[in-house]
Amino acid sequence: MSAFILGTDHIDYLVSAAVGAGIGGHGLYWDGERVEWHNADRVGAALLRENIASVSFRYAPHDGGLPGPVPNPVPEDYGYQPFLRVETAQVLKAIDCYEYQSCEHPG
């Protein structure tokens, strides 16, 4: 399977899972800060930026963009759209997919 840029809905799902983990519990942390509604845009943009950096390392960009949604999402334009319901098994699959699509560069 080839690496590709994930759609913003995939990023939204991951961020929704992270935000939801903090409701009534300890939560997940990003860059030293608990992931919550107020920083969801920044967390999602960072996830998208990492995915794009990985795919860009693997494939040189060309006029048609990188593999994935057309047009490719832009981290600076990312705006979090919450999923009201997330399922544990689906979250694990979404994380696995994200890791695979974001592991191409040495960093």
Residue pLDDT, tens place only, 29-43? 999 999 999 999 999
Of the listed ranges 2-6, 38-42, 60-64, 99-103, the least confidently predicted one is: 60-64
CA nearest to 5, candidates 89, 77, 72, 93? 72
Q: List the Cα angle 2/8/12 in 5-degree steps.
A: 115
The structure's pTM equals 0.91
- 11-67: pLDDT as tens digits: 999 999 999 987 767 889 999 999 999 999 999 999 999 999 999 998 876 666 889
